[in-house]
Structure 1
Amino acid sequence: MSEHLQHEILSLLKENSRLETEKIAHMLGESKEKVEQIIQELEKTGIIVKYGAVINWQKSEKPKVSALIDVKVAPQRGYGFDALARRIYRFPEVRSVYLMSGAYDLSVELEVDSMEAVGRFVTEKLATLDSVMGTTTHFVMKKYKEDGVILDDPEKDERLVITP
């Protein structure tokens, strides 16, 4: 399988996961069957893990609260940060967990229904874990761009145009 073709298919699906294989094949000048075969192989090997949508929760009737939590950890002998990261990412409200460089070791992204739910998560679930030494919580006030998609609605200029 051509690495270049595989990369092109991945790039197209990353941009728009709803593209049909026929359209991808046409865009790349390949057969539909070949593209389907490559996509199936990418799914089977775990390179393609999930297809999804970018949602602007700020425009929905029931917006979500997003928070980023920096976590300072005492690494466990023989496991490093991996064991704790696995425990954290199993909580359903956790969207992402990253190992970070800098002052904090892990960064946890939450998406919940309220600010209170963030507080409960930190105090009842995260802070109670043995290896957690400290946390800093950042609430996302507004998302301007997510996953390459601009969510910000620029304000319309309501001034009158005056011409000489």
Structure 2
Amino acid sequence: MREKILAIIEKNSRIDLKDLAVLLGESETAIANEIAEMEKEHIICGYHTLINWDNTSDEKVVALIEVKVTPQRGMGFDKIAERIYQYNEVNAVYLMSGSFDFTVFIEGKTMRQVAQFVSEKLSPMESVLSTATHFVLKKYKDHGTVLAEETPDERMLITP
């Protein structure tokens, strides 16, 4: 039942408990208890609203930063990640396989603000060897939701 609940609320966290119970053929109490248990176990870690900031007047600059580090003895990657994710600008930090160690997603109001974060906070950390910053130019799909509006086919139909 957990996987079914998670699959539904991942797509629509605003679904009414009653509707969820009907969909799953369970009682509201059973569903509520299961959700509460998953929140307690940190399986459900929060409820978020996906916003297409490009359609608002409050645009944000989003950047993906590749970070190479040297883990310090006894600290490993976890302590470095913890130092990075403490910054308010940071939305996500992932340990990666491949040619760099972390992917860091940050938001700022301007490209300059993002650049200042990298140069003043991230790069000076003693364990950071290098960074590469990539700016998001346009989001087409985010968290499984298509954000880009479909463009109508404006080609003329030519018949023989």
TM-score (normalised: structure 1) = 0.93
For structure 2, the residue ranges without an aligned partner over 5 or more in a row are none
Map 1:45-64; keep pairs closer than 5 Å. Answer: 45-64=41-60
| Paired residues for 1:12-161 under 5 Å | 12-161=8-157
Q: TM-score, normalised by structure 2?
A: 0.96
1:36 and 1:110 mapped to 2: Cα distance? 34
Matched residue count = 160
Superposition CA RMSD, Å: 1.2
* Rounded Cα–Cα distance in structure 2 between residues aligned with 1:136 and 1:11: 34
What is the identity, as a one-letter code, of the residue corresponding to 1:109? F
Q: What is the alpha-carbon distance in structure 2 between the residues aligned to residue 77 and residue 12 of structure 1?
A: 43
**Shift of residue 163 of structure 1?**
6.4
Aligned-pair distance for 1:13? 0.7
Matched residue type, 1:80: G
**Residues of 1 paired with 2:142 and 2:155: CA distance?**
30
In structure 1, distance between residues paired with 2:146 and 2:132:
27
Per-residue CA deviation, residues 108-155 of structure 1 (Å, 9 max, x unaligned), is 001111111110000000011000000000000001100000011121
Unaligned runs of 5+ in 1: none
Query: In 1, distance between residues paired with 2:50 and 2:5?
Result: 19
Tell me which stretches of 4 or more aligned residues in structure 1 moved more than 6 Å. none
